Amino acid sequence: MKSSTPLISFIYTLVVVTYGAPPPSDFRGLNTGKIVGGVEADRHEFKFLVDIRLQNIHLCGGSIVTPEWVVTAAHCAHSAPSGYTLSAGEHNINVTEGTEQVRQVTQINIHPNYLSYQYENDIALMRVSPPFEFNEYVQPVVIPNVNFAPTTLATVTGWGSISEGGGSPPNDNLMKVVVPFVDDVTCQRNHYGEIAPSMVCYGEAGKDSCHGDSGSPLLCGDNQTLCGIVSWGEGCARPNLFRVYTETSFFSEWIRSSTIKFEEDSNPAQFITTCGARIDASSAEITFQLGASIPAGQKCVWVVKTRYDSVRFRLSSSGLGENDGLYLTNFAHSEPGTQKRMTSVGQNYTVASGFVLVTLSIGSAPSSGFRLEFFSSGFSDQTRDFSEFARFTTNTGRLSYPIDGGITRPNEDALFVINPTMSAVRTLRLTRMDVETDTDPSCRYDAVTIYDWFDNQYRHLDRRCGYSLPPSFTLESGLGLVTFQSDSGVGGTGFDFEWV
């Protein structure tokens, strides 16, 4: 794990720890100072720069992408949206100059692959309301293309410290400094191999960003392209310990797709006819045995992950009987949530996307099939994908996890669906357990969780960690879910389970 620190405002941490977070009216952007080794920026030289405040105290910087969206570092965005305000059109953040636009944050999208323990994919988007109004003081930043090459020199700007220990200049004006590019080999060597491909290094002794500059822009070229976002480092402006930035070009498509609204497809993009599937698409049509017979007791599960953050389901045709069910279950944070039964042709149901389990449950008599469509729209969905996924249709089977051996990884979120072709009562057994232990029986860190389909819903059976093996579990309908989640800490050699 890195011993370095992100560059959020030191004064924010000090004030909150010592006195508690102040009410918004008590402060106007307290901060610790400026960029190290730089000069004062021209007024409104960086029209896209915003002052990110948490409880009205300067915390980080950010860059305007669209009137509604600002990009910053993920480690600047861990609190609830209601705690943040963003101020554009700033120069001196402790003086009201008449050019400011202050907005409330209403939504935060942290990159789904952000790894907090090593600052990898350290990027987030904040949505504001009302939108910023572009004028001579406030404008959007230029987002680089995916193949953008870092320039030899770049400019970093912000309201951070002028030295590693803090230190404030006479005023609180925006500062800037020009820093040189550092090649990957040199940066890797000096940071002990902790530089990911999505990071880029700039800096030299005496010139650097510092505490309070996190999330602020690194700018390349005359058009001020956002080539980096201040992320982490060891100290400030130390010799041979260069500043590490999130390399924005790695995330250009993510930024664009997350800040532009998309409309529904005019027609389904995929067509599924199997009993169960994993579906990753902006839209799809599930047509199963429409006009044909489905055996009594049949169960099928389709795991749906849509591209955008709102998804509309529509039952367009159905031969299902009153004792059959077609259910839509939100599946967030590796557990089943709200559920809706689709019963009538023409029925629509819209949910926030992420993962949705579409479960068909046929009653005690044979039935006919159905056609279900879904269409997603809105902004890009930010739900993190499963770290591992498998769907088993065999009547008996066994899984050893991790599948390739070794130890479990940090921040895992795995799902295994047991959906045998033949419907019958089955027994599920955990046959090996080596999952991080916890003195709390709720297993707060790493855990294996088991659900079965019972009484037309997913029923929680157990949540386990440690080494001991529990009694066997009965899957009343033969359909079950096994999930595994891990935190960012210690891993074990995993677990085995079987169903018979």
Residues forming the active site: 75, 122, 214
Contact 395, 425 (CB under 8 A): no
Contact 391, 340 (CB under 8 A): no
Specify the DSSP element, H or E, that contains 369: none
Name 174's Cβ contacts closer than 8 Å, sequence gap at least 6.
40, 41, 45, 46, 49, 90, 91, 92, 93, 157, 158, 159
Q: How far is CA 434 from the centre of its chain?
A: 28
Give the three-state DSSP class for 318.
strand
Say how far apart CA 161 and CA 148 lie, in whole Å.
Answer: 29
Specify the DSSP element, H or E, that contains 208: none
Residue 478: Cβ-neighbour burial (10 angstroms; 0-12, 13-18, 19+): buried
Specify the DSSP element, H or E, that contains 254: helix 252-259
Say how far apart CA 290 and CA 220 lie, in whole Å.
Answer: 57
| Backbone torsion region of residue 456, taken as left when φ is above 0, otherwise alpha when ψ lies between -120 and 50, otherwise beta | left
Query: What are the residues facing 137 on neighbouring strands?
Result: none
